[in-house]
Structures are given as structure tokens and as C-alpha cells.
A and B are shown apart, each in its own frame.
Chain A
Amino acid sequence: MTQATAIHGEKISLLRVLGPGHVWALGVGIVLVGEYMGWNFAVGKGGAMAALIACWVAGLLYTCVAMIDSEVTSTVAAAGGQYAQAKHIVGPLMAFNVGLYLVFAYTMLEAANAITLGYLVQTVGTMAGFADAHDKPFIVLTIVFLAWLNYRGVYATLTVNLILTAVAFIAIIVLFAAVKPWSNEMLHHNELLNGLPYGWLGVIASLHFGLWYYLGIEGTCQAAEEVRSPARSLPLGTMTGIITLLIAATMTWYVCAGLMPWEYLGQAITPLFDAARLTESMPLMVLLFIGTVFSTLASANGCINDASRAWFSMGRDRYLPIWFGAVHPKNRTPYRSIVFLVPVALVFAYFAPLDQVITFSILSGLLGYTYMSLNVILFRKKWPLDTIKRGYVHPFHPLPALVLLILCAATYFAVFLGYGTQLVAMMIFFVIASVWFHFHRYKYVRRGDQFTMQWPRPLGY
């Protein structure tokens, strides 16, 4: 595919190896782990119907995220994502916080993936006759092995064929077809669905884990180095990803809600694998086992990569000690950041339950989305449409920002309903970190280096 994009005011052509459909499927793949685990905690908060409503409302939240992110990313350097946006539009303190949100969201997701993988291996081990199988060694092994792979960089390639990783996506479709959704032979929605056991408050409470279906979808649009991201591909890529996840999420919900009572589904660690077990089909169990293993491994690997790079960038910008900004002379990886974050992931994966680890990841992501809604309002105010060229202009401004802000506020309330302690603890952590940055760390930051775009002076400055 040849794609024309603008650079330096000129049009150039780039050869792309993959077609748009391929890119879309692969982009969704990395987020697909949300279908394999975590989403079902929403069922526990408000029942199966509440979880479905939360899933669709979360889809609306992410539509706003995609629209806002596409406009800002098509203008600010796409490389660096929200972290680079915060540096340019708000300032170092916001960038420091956004960097921390990213690191925590990724590290907690990595821990959640390791917990799921460990539990799955334990379950399968028990089924195979190893009654004494324990999940903890596999949790540690997963984190340490993937950290080692990331430490080694291009010296140690993860070269399992992409087709194998596509199994994670295909497995959900096969499971859907195998349970014969057109009949009541295997699915028993009439008996298992019980409306809204906690009323509409339960629906709001479910919103908390509804975000899990899509968390990180905005990060799947990877920019090229030599061009601003194409105006069309950014919103299109993310929107099609959201639609795909919405369909996959509804299918996942339909299968699981028809096979398991909500009391069990609401606290299951591997709901899709459990659904396969209930079909009593060995090939399906194997397929869902492989799907869960690959999706959690791919996701955890991506998380280690991205968290360490966010931490590394903060070190390079002197938001953290410059020591973290070091690159391994041979492997060319941010090795100190990788090693530093391993014990953080291990502590959470080893000692915290899955729902709490997921809550920390969701909260970090949620803080990032809240920032995005305020960021785009500031962006439009400081640099109105006619002052700098945008690759994409999102419609109905400021409606998407306001909808996003309202949905974020509702989700904070949802988190508070079930995980108030975690919410307060996280807020206190970020306040303390911000105070430390403002009064201690900021003096080391090279202020002149923060802003690299040749934009006009912002309005009102």
C-alpha cells in the first residue's frame, strides 16, 4: 500500500508492507487480552446486564478518547503519545504525572497478565493430574522471562509467528460458533440472566471494569518516524479498533453470560477458558488455553516495553534521576528502567488479588483520559484552529471533551463504590509525587528543552 503523507509542507510516499485490514486486526490483538480476563469483574459489580451496558458506555468513552487523541496527535509529535502532548500543551508537572500514569497503567497490566497466566497454568496443571501445582512460580517466571527478553532487545527476538498470536482472536470467534448461539442447547440466558440485581447503581459500579475491554486502544496507532501521522489513519484506525472490540466484547459477554451464573462469572480469573471447560470440548479448551496464554504473554511483553520506555523518557527529561535515562551499550535497551520496574510488577503480581491490580491499572488509565479531556480544551484555547495546522480536526468541540469528562467522573464514582481505599491511596500517591516533583525535582529539568515544536506563541501568553 502506498500512502501519501505530509512532511515539511511537501507530499512524500511511503511503502507500507501491511494492508489496512491487517494493521487493524493486529492493532486490536494487543488489547484483546481485556476479553480474556478482567472484564467479568463488571458482572460482579452489577450483574450481567449491567456489565453489557457498561461495556457499551465505555465504548462511547473511548470514542471520545479516539477523537481527541487523533486531533492532538496529528499536530504534536505522535512519538511519545500523551507524554509528549503534556510537555507541549500543559507543562512539565503535567508531563511528569502523565508519565507516571503510563508507567503504572502498563506495570499493573503486566502484573495482571502474569497473575492470569499463573492461574491458568495452575488450573490446567490440576486438570492434568498435578494437584499440587502452584501459580506463584509461573507468575514470577513470566515477569522475569519477559523482562529478560526486553533487557536483551534485538539480541533476543520473540519470533513466534504472528499467525499463532492471531489464535487469540480466532479462539473467541470459534468459541462463539461452538456454543451454537442460535439455539438454547448450550446457552441458558433465560435461566441465568437476572436483570439488574443492584439497580442502576450497579450499572454505574460496573463502569469501573467496563473500561478494561478497551484499555490502551489509543496506543495501537503507532506513528512513523519521518512523518506526522496521516490525518485519516489515526481516527479510522482507533475507531475501527473500538468497533471490533465492541463486537468481540458483546460476543464474549453473550457466551459467558449464557454459560455461567453471574455470581461465579463476576469473580472468575479466566472467564473464557472457564466457558470452554463448560462446553466439555477438549479442542475448544486447548484453543482457549493457547489464546489466553498468547494474549497475556503478548500484552505483558508490550507492557514491560512501554512502561520501561516511559520511565526512560522521564529520566532523559530529568523528571526522574538521569540514571534511568541510560541505554545499554550493547543491547540498546533502557536496561535500568526495565530492571527497576521488575520488582514493582512482582510485588503487585505476587501479593495483590487480580481485581485490585486491574483497578490500579484502570485508575492510571482513567487519570490519563481525564487529562486528555482537559488537555484538548486547553489546546484549542491556546492554539485555535487557524493558528497551527492540524492533520485532523475532531467535530463538535467541546462536546466530546465534556462527555469524556462526565464519563470519567462517573467512573471515578464507580471505582469509589467498590475500591474506595485504592482510589484514595492512588490519589494520595500522585499528590505526594507531584509535590516532590514541584519542590525538589523541577530544578533539574532543562526547561528550554521541553518544547520542540515551532508553534506560535499561545494565545494569551
Chain B
Amino acid sequence: MSPSLFFAVAGVIVTAAVAYREHAGQLAARRSLLDRCVGVLRSASLAHGGDGFPILDGYWNGRFIRAELFPESMALRRLPQLWLKLTRIEVRTGLPEFSILVRPSGTEFYSLTDGHTHTLRPPQGLAQEIVVRGSGPHAQRLLDAVAPVLAKIFADPRIKEVAVTAKGLRLIWQAAEGQRGHHLLLRQCRFENAQVTPDALAARLADLDRLNVAIEAAREVRAA
């Protein structure tokens, strides 16, 4: 074997070994992102996807909760995002559905807003760039009734979407933003300091609680 070929083969092997080690390190780092939040939910269980990102299931105030982290890098000229998808299961048959998405780019594959066909009037006091859609014109009344709570939720600029459906409530929250350098050079999704704190999760769960109370109040008023 010639020296140049030897160095070429050695270079490829070393590069591959470093890449494998870093890949394993990244997967390990992802797995722990929700570890500190386990204590927030009752009967909590933590699972992990093949990409290493965690899914936390459990109960909060007697309701089933799923907290799921997922990365997204679909929009051009925007850094990758790590979203926390928080779902609260609470079946309310016949409830008018609506969802609110801020700063839409058209690439939000995870959004429930795209599934609704009827465009609603945005409530006062919410962000400038916003899309509000519902299951029909009847959803406007519910939306207006819970508008003050929504305004408080959207006061946090990291909230991306809030959805109210007959199956439950959903909230999408920005957990972290990708590192600029890694994305610019190699279009990689790397999130430093992306740990979701128990306080942050509890705050989002409290948001869902407030929204739930407002929905119930609106239903009672309507029933009366």
C-alpha cells in the first residue's frame, strides 16, 4: 500500500469514527431533554423516538397529558426549531373547533390550523401575523369568549399555536432554537441548552388549565 493511499484510508476511518462518536453523543443528549419534567406529571412515563427525542406521558389535574419534543427545519432562511407539543386529552363532543397559528410560513406540517377550512376573525390583542381557522362560523363565538385567556397565552412569544378541538387542547411552544453555525454550514439541527425545565412545563400546563376553564365557562353561558 502506497503512503498516500494509507493516509487516505486512515483519514476516512478517523473521520468516520469521529462522526459516529458525535452522532451517538447527540442522540444521548436528546434523550435527556425532558428528564427533569418527569416529576411534574402524575404516573409519568418517558419514551424515546428513534431520533432520540423524548415523549413524556402522564396526568395533570386528572387529565391525560402528552408532552413531545420534535425538531423542525422546513422554512427557508430560518434557523431550525425544537418544538414542544403539549396535548391535553379531554373529549367534548360537539365543541366548535378552532386553532390559532402565529408567524405562519406555510410549512407548519405539525399544525392543526391547516386542517380547518373556515377562516375566523382574529381576537383583539393578539400578534400581528396570525392565522385563525375553525370548523365553521359557529367557532367564532367560542373564540371571542376565550379571547382574554388566549391573549395571555400568546403574550409569551415562544407560543406558536393553540388549538381547541373536540378531542382536547393542544399547544405548540418553542423549546429551543438551532445553533446558527451548524445550520449554516451543514444544515444540521443542533440545540444547545434545550432542557425543558419543570417550571416551563408547569406554566404551559397552567395555560391549558386556564383555557379549559374559559371554554367550560363559555359553554355554560351558552347552555344557559
Contacts and interface: CB of A to CB of B under 8 A. Distances in A.
**A in complex with B:** yes
Contacts of A162: 181-182, 185
Contacts of B130: 452, 454
B93 interface: no
Contact of A102 (B18, B49, B76, B81): B76
Nearest to A448: B119
B124 interface: no
Interface stretch (B33-41, B98-106, B202-210): B98-106
A223 B2 contact: no
Nearest to B181: A26
A317 B71 contact: no
A160 to B, nearest CB: 6
A83 B180 contact: no
A313 B128 contact: no
Q: How large is the interface on B (under 10, 10 to 19, 20 to 34, 35 or more residues)?
A: 35 or more
B55 to A, nearest CB: 13
B171 interface: no
B77 to A, nearest CB: 4
Given A162-B185, A309-B75, A316 B106 contact: yes
A309 B53 CA distance: 22
B192 interface: yes
B185 A330 contact: no
A77 B18 contact: no
Contacts of A81: 76-77
Contact of A84 (B19, B105, B187): B105
A29 B76 CA distance: 18
Contact of A18 (B103, B107, B181): B181
A164 to B, nearest CB: 8
Contact of B187 (A29, A224, A305, A331): A305
Given A77-B129, A301-B186, A160 B19 contact: yes
B131 A158 contact: no
Contact of A225 (B50, B53, B78, B131): B78
A223 B129 CA distance: 16
Contacts of A158: 19, 186-188
Nearest to A165: B185
The CB with the most chain A CB atoms within 10 A, among B18, B77, B181, is that of B77
B184 A22 contact: no
Interface stretch (A183-191, A214-222, A405-413): A214-222
B223 interface: no
Contacts of B70: 332
Interface in A306-326: 306, 309-310, 312-313, 316-317, 325
B42 interface: no
A129 interface: yes
Nearest to A12: B157
B103 A225 contact: yes
B106 A449 contact: yes
A27 B76 contact: no
B215 to A, nearest CB: 24
Contacts of A84: 76, 105
Given A159-B22, A332-B70, A452-B129, A17 B185 contact: no
A220 B181 CA distance: 10
Contacts of A454: 128-130
A7 interface: yes
B69 to A, nearest CB: 11
B174 interface: yes
B179 A313 contact: no
A156 B23 CA distance: 8
Nearest to B77: A81
Given A80-B77, A128-B5, A225-B81, A154 B71 contact: yes
B181 A222 contact: no
A222 B157 contact: no
Contacts of A12: 157
B4 interface: yes
A236 interface: no
A223 B77 contact: yes
Given A219-B77, A313-B106, A154 B189 contact: yes
Interface in B47-78: 49-51, 53, 70-78
Nearest to B16: A160
B26 interface: yes
The CB with the most chain A CB atoms within 10 A, among B19, B70, B104, B177, is that of B177
Contacts of A79: 75-78, 103, 105
A18 B180 contact: yes
B128 A453 contact: yes
A157 interface: yes
Given A80-B76, A160-B15, A160-B18, 13 more contacts: A16-B180, A23-B180, A26-B185, A73-B77, A129-B5, A154-B53, A158-B186, A164-B15, A306-B187, A332-B72, A334-B74, A454-B128, A454-B129
16 contacts: A8-B157, A12-B157, A16-B180, A78-B77, A79-B75, A83-B76, A155-B51, A156-B23, A161-B22, A162-B182, A165-B185, A165-B186, A301-B186, A301-B187, A309-B74, A332-B109
Interface of A: 7-8, 12, 15-18, 22-23, 26-27, 29-30, 73, 77-81, 83-84, 102, 127-129, 150, 153-162, 164-165, 219-227, 298, 301-302, 305-306, 309-310, 312-313, 316-317, 325, 327, 330-332, 334, 448-449, 452-454
